[in-house]
Structure formats: C-alpha cells, structure tokens
Amino acid sequence: MPDTSRLAIVAALEREVGPLIKHWQVVDREYDGRKFKFYQHGQTVLVCGGIGASAARRATEAVIALYHPAQVVSAGFAGALNSALRAGEVFVPARVVDAHDASSTETGSGHGVMVSFAEIASPEQKAKLAYAFGAQAVDMEAAAAARGALARGVSFIAVKAISDESDFVLPEMNRYVSHDGKFRTAAFAVAMAIRPWLWTRTLQLARNSSRASAALCDWLERYIGSAAGDKASDLQPVAGRQG
C-alpha cells in the first residue's frame, strides 16, 4: 500500500473494530519512537492507538504523518447520556466537545453533540456531562483525534457505537487502563471472576459491546465503500445516521 490513504480510522482497541479488520493487511511501523500496528485495506488505513486522549493524539499524529490521509475518522465505543440512545446504536455527532477545556470541533456531518471525558463515566458523571455540554454521548478519544487532525489541515468526523446506556452501572474499569492506553484484560477478568455479584453486569456489558462492534463495523464498511466511490480530490464527510 502506498504511503497515501484517502481514509484513516483511529480507534482505541482492536475489539471495537474486529469484524472490520479481520482480513486486512497488518503492517508494523514506527513513528516518533513508538511502534504502531496499522491495518490496511485498499485506500483505507486503521490504527488502534489505545484508550484516552493521549493515546488518540499519538495515533492520529502517526497515521497522518505516515499515510497522509484526506480524512480522519475517530471510531469506537461511547456511552449514552440520555435514554434515547440504546446499546448497539450508531451515533455520528455534528460537534465534538472536550470536557477538559470546553473546546469544540464541528464535523460537518451527523447530528447532536458528543463530549470526550478523561475517564470511563459513571451514570452520575454522565448526567453532569449531559447537563454541562448538552451532549448525547460520551467517549474518551474523539476530541483529541479531532484536534490532531484539524491542526494538520485534515478533514475529521467521529462515529461511535453505544456500548453502555445512560443508566448502566459499569464495573470499575478505570483502574485497568494502563498509562499508555492499553486495557489490562487479564487483570480485569481475574477481578471479575472473584466478584460473582458483578457477573450479570459484566456479561451484559460484553453482549452490549458485541452489538456495538457489529453496528460500528457495518457503518464503517458502508462509509469506506462510499469513500471509494468519491471522485473528488478531497474526501468530504457524508451525512451520518443513527440506527
């Protein structure tokens, strides 16, 4: 694949986009002293940078520097901030807000507002974020990816699939996110195994995540197809949809 891509997708974890990249070419490359795993297919490249703003920023900078895409898509899971969004639905925000400093990015696509928060949000935190920013969903990476893309003159959109509804009480997960944005799956599994009172909730989260991944990958596959048919020199956002 040449070092030029029309579309660069930045996700946090492979499990979010697994069905999409299952048969894509895998290439390990280095940027700024860090190694990244890129998944390549046609004129699309995808990188899973890790959880959180710092990881998303690094991955966005790397994929732009190495592949020179026309557009960056921040893709992954998000939490709903109101009861209208259900697990497995896809949300394409028209505006992405950084909860840290209230800065925002208009995507020129989709509808509604998503806020990026520094932690995996509890129902109480979700209610506060919804009130403070008028947002419908919360993630951890989109605002950082948007800042990285737009600073380099690259078009940006975000697409997120809902993995936890507004009132869903997640098991404690923030402690299992490492400093470099990796999720310590083995440690989390051991902790849940010895806490049977959390089994039902953990299984529900797994089912919701599976539905979210399938919906997200279906949306991305269709979007990649539309991008491949775009004859313009610069890729333009297409209208997002929820469903």
234, pLDDT greater than 70:
no
User: Where does the pLDDT of residue 240 fall: very low under 50, low under 70, confident under 90, or very high at 90 and above?
Assistant: very low
Percentage of the chain beyond pLDDT 70 is 87
User: Where does the pLDDT of residue 148 fall: very low under 50, low under 70, confident under 90, or very high at 90 and above?
Assistant: very high
Cα separation values, 94 from 30, 155, 171, Å: 33, 13, 30
CATH match for 7-228 among 3.40.50.1580, 3.30.420.40, 3.40.630.30, 1.10.10.60: 3.40.50.1580
The pLDDT tens digits of the residues spanning 40-85 come to: 999 999 999 999 999 999 999 999 999 999 999 999 999 999 999 9
What is the arithmetic mean of pLDDT over 20-48? 95
Under DSSP, the state recorded for 170 is P
Residue 235 pLDDT = 40
* Domain chopping of the chain, boundaries: 7-228
The pLDDT tens digits of the residues spanning 107-118 come to: 998 999 999 999
The pLDDT tens digits of the residues spanning 152-197 come to: 999 999 999 999 999 877 767 766 666 776 766 777 777 777 788 7
Under DSSP, the state recorded for 175 is G
Residues β-bridged to residue 117 = none
Nearest to residue 141, comparing CAs of 207, 237, 55, 218? 55
Rounded CA separation 63/122 (Å):
31
